Chain A
């Protein structure tokens, strides 16, 4: 059965937190989560988190946007009703392309930006009526919290966290 107890070690300085994360990683404990009030530079590297692939997503969404713009205008302006509008050459897409470039550019940016943001929301499970998953409200203001599952020797872990400069160590029963 999975452990239902977690330790919350609370810190009040980001430098102390960074050192604590490094020590806990060196002692081969698995850190479940770290809650911080603001981005701490290098925290993801210290925790060993995989780099994000959001930029790759954005590039592909941009390609989709460019394709949509091209297909749309090619159909409307060239294939469906190739009207002479002010002498613009509507014989082929390429001949009239400079006039389409502003739209192609904007749709590329539109798709890349919006779909990337939506992807971010989905991947990080954020939506308007979502229940906040904050274990301690102080972590949104001026405290940092490291969460570690208790699997082995609880006292050993507690003393390790005590040495790292935690201002508070709580054992919490997590209802699964």
Chain B
């Protein structure tokens, strides 16, 4: 039986507070950026762009105009960097929106990242139940602890999405579907049958309800099985049935969730294997977090029956799902790169041009690194090795989500700074607190599970 230590409470609270302060500062600074500030900034950037002699001159002008606070002078200087006056204004407004979008996106990415760990863990748990796996029952309480974050985490994601509105999802702007408006977008209007805020919320609530109901009953049956008399496997059989049914529901809803919550940030773009791609990343992260928490609890002596064969199996799943993720990443990228259809390929052009390092860096972190580190069978049994590989995999998949959301909302105005780090710390603290609270509520060994004996003697 695990008890939530005071130190862990303090650490998670500190993470939440520090994260909230960092994110709040980032939000405050970016929301005080006006169109005029942006024009100064653009003028400076244009002068840094290689005008040679003009460099020093433009710099002094820019400083001067800031000092005088003269909007007219600023306008002139900003326009000097561009050929057309109108274009300069439109561009400055666009950049201002991008800067304003950044803290919303940063918060959304971090919220989604931790939600998807819990969702992936729920899917993995259901697979273990439905497959009647003999090795994993010892880890069921850990998995159930992680999935406890799903309900609050998913509600937070949807709340952020709805509150942010067109800061993240441009189609939530009613002007885009209004033929009278200057912002009217025929493509978005054509998709408004699916992409409308009411539908988004209703679908999200259906997904979350379905997942949570399964989670609730599965946990309930799992605990009830502990108290069942010897030889009575009624609850185990019930759990098996609802797990199989849930997996069918999950595959449909996960796919639709990935269109709604991620793919629709680029409403002009679509990809058919996107749901699988998100699923693969989700499963890697979930198994990695499972391995990390298991190793942590084992190091405290709370899981005495977990041996290094269990760790080896989890590390094999980390390795396998990493390869699977790469396979889907590459399949999506290569098919679009190869055919090079303009309507599809812009998605990757923006990412390669503006996000070169994160885009290719994450492939190294999510593929090359686990491939070379986790290939050796002996390494997969070494706890600190699994933890180190896990840290890189989690960071890599955070950047994966970052690469999916940011190019659509902030474009080339991205940076991993205060709002991003703050949001990650905030949700990391929340995740830690909720997960360890759930783990502390029940005995760590599901003793009534008919496979528990096999799991205890598991040896590979």
On chain B, the residues within 8 Å of A98 by CB distance are: 330, 333-334, 337-338
Taking the closest CB of chain B, its distance from the CB of A125, in whole angstroms, is 26
Residue contact A87 to B334, C-beta cutoff 8 Å: no
Q: How far, in whole Å, are A128 and B324 apart by their CA atoms in the complex?
A: 38
Q: How far, in whole Å, are A99 and B340 apart by their CA atoms in the complex?
A: 12
Residue contact A99 to B338, C-beta cutoff 8 Å: yes
The answer to whether the Cβ of A101 comes within 8 Å of any Cβ in the partner chain is: yes
Sorting the interface of chain B by its residue count into under 10, 10 to 19, 20 to 34 or 35 or more gives: under 10
Known: A59-B375, A98-B333, A101-B330. A87 touches B338 (CB 8 A): no
Task: Give the most central of A98, A99, A101: most B CB within 10 Å.
Answer: A98
On chain A, the residues within 8 Å of B377 by CB distance are: 55
Find the A residue at minimum CB distance from B376. Answer: A55
Interface secondary structure of A, over-half rule: helix
Q: How far, in whole Å, are A21 and B351 apart by their CA atoms in the complex?
A: 62
Q: How far, in whole Å, are A4 and B205 apart by their CA atoms in the complex?
A: 81
Residue contact B337 to A87, C-beta cutoff 8 Å: no
On chain A, the residues within 8 Å of B334 by CB distance are: 98-99, 101
Interface secondary structure of B, over-half rule: helix
Interface string of A68-101 (1 = CB under 8 A from B): 0000000000000000000100000000001101
On chain A, the residues within 8 Å of B338 by CB distance are: 98-99
Q: How far, in whole Å, are A163 and B185 apart by their CA atoms in the complex?
A: 89
Taking the closest CB of chain A, its distance from the CB of B121, in whole angstroms, is 30
Find the A residue at minimum CB distance from B372. Answer: A59
Residue contact B340 to A87, C-beta cutoff 8 Å: yes
Find the B residue at minimum CB distance from A41. Answer: B459
Q: How far, in whole Å, are A99 and B377 apart by their CA atoms in the complex?
A: 32
Q: How far, in whole Å, are A99 and B333 apart by their CA atoms in the complex?
A: 11
CB-CB contacts below 8 Å: B315-349 with A: 330, 333-334, 337-338, 340
Q: How far, in whole Å, are A59 and B377 apart by their CA atoms in the complex?
A: 13
On chain B, the residues within 8 Å of A101 by CB distance are: 330, 334
Find the B residue at minimum CB distance from A99. Answer: B338
On chain B, the residues within 8 Å of A59 by CB distance are: 375
Q: How far, in whole Å, are A87 and B375 apart by their CA atoms in the complex?
A: 38
Taking the closest CB of chain B, its distance from the CB of A60, in whole angstroms, is 12
Q: How far, in whole Å, are A101 and B363 apart by their CA atoms in the complex?
A: 14
Q: How far, in whole Å, are A98 and B330 apart by their CA atoms in the complex?
A: 8
Q: How far, in whole Å, are A99 and B337 apart by their CA atoms in the complex?
A: 9
Could you tell me which A residues sit within 8 Å of B by CB distance?
A: 55, 59, 87, 98-99, 101
Besides A101-B330, A101-B334, 6 more A-B contacts (Cβ < 8 Å) are: A55-B377, A98-B330, A98-B333, A98-B338, A99-B334, A99-B338
- Sample (12) of A-B pairs whose CB atoms are under 8 Å apart: A55-B377, A59-B375, A87-B340, A98-B330, A98-B333, A98-B334, A98-B337, A98-B338, A99-B334, A99-B338, A101-B330, A101-B334
